[in-house]
Every structure is written in C-alpha cells, then in structure tokens.
C-alpha cells in the first residue's frame, strides 16, 4: 500500500505519479483569477515545489491552498499560517499533515491524536501553539 494524500473535505486523492497536486494563490487574491497549480513532493520534509515558469512565488508571502477537486480552502485548526491535508502512511495509518503556507517556511507537522512529529528547520516556530507531545 502506498502513501496517500487526500482532501479533508471531498476525500479526493491528491497524490498522482509521486506528486502532491494542489492549487494555490497569493493571500487576498482570487483562485479563479490568479490561481496556479502546484506540485509538491510526497516525502515529508521535502520542501521543493514546482509550478509553471510564469508563476511568481515570493519568499515570505502567504499563500492560500485549495483542493484542486472541490476547491475547498485547505486550512489548519492549529494555526492560521498552516494548511492541512489528510495523509495515510504505507500501513494505512491516518494522520493530519499540517504545513506552512508561507513560501519558503519549512515547517511540517504529522499529527495523530495528541502526538506530533515535526519536520523542517522552522518547525519549532509553531510548536508552542499546539499543546501536543513532540514524538519526533
Ligand atoms: Zn476536495
């Protein structure tokens, strides 16, 4: 069984050909006017992203992420600067994967119940908000 990523709203699968596919736009802009497709790597902690060469992503700017299927605004209940997708590991265990929506910020949290595994050099930045147990 492979890892799966799915939308918390429509449960649609977001991982195809080893790329996580999302749509995004800069905070305050409209997805249907300025939105773009974004490819991410499914390995947690790999922050490389791919998007069309005409798209400009600015480090430090906040982006809004959407499900490409149902256009649900992906958001995290933990912090306004994070987004969340559902993640199932190879054993089928279900986690919430929260990551930063600020371009260039490397912080990811793999959460199940009250335990969290953190990834990325900026991870401590949001850990205070979580009141969870760091298991990493
Ligand atoms: Zn969806």
From ligand 1's centre to the CA of 64, what distance in Å? 14
Per-residue pLDDT band at 136 (split at 50, 70, 90): low
Q: Number of folded domains in the chain?
A: 1
Question: CB within 5 A of ion ligand 1: which residues?
Answer: 7, 9-10, 12, 67, 69-70, 72
3-state secondary structure the chain: CCCEEECCCCCCECEECCEEEEEEEECCCCHHHHCEEEEECCCCCCCCEECCCCCCCCCCCEEEEECCCCCCEECCCCCCCEEEEEEECCCCCEEEEEEECECCCCCEEEEECCEEEEECCCCHHHHCCCCCEECC
| Reported pTM | 0.91
List the domain range (segments joined by +) for residue 51.
4-134
From ligand 1's centre to the CA of 96, what distance in Å? 15
From ligand 1's centre to the CA of 8, what distance in Å? 7
From ligand 1's centre to the CA of 13, what distance in Å? 8
Convert the pLDDT of each residue in 77-129 to its tens digit.
Answer: 989 999 999 999 999 999 999 999 999 999 999 999 888 999 999 998 887 76
């Amino acid at each position: 069984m492979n890892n799966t990523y799915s939308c918390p709203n429509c449960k649609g699968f977001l991982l195809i050909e080893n790329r996580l596919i999302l749509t995004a736009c800069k905070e305050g802009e409209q997805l249907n006017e300025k939105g773009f497709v974004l490819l991410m790597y499914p390995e947690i902690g790999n922050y490389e992203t791919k998007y069309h060469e005409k798209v400009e992503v600015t480090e430090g700017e906040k982006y809004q992420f959407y499900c490409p299927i149902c256009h649900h605004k992906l958001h995290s209940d933990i912090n306004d600067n994070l987004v969340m997708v559902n993640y199932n590991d190879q054993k089928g265990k279900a986690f919430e994967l929260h990551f930063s929506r600020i371009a260039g910020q490397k912080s990811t949290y793999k959460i199940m119940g009250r335990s969290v595994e953190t990834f990325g050099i900026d991870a401590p930045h949001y850990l205070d908000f979580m009141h969870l147990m760091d298991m990493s």
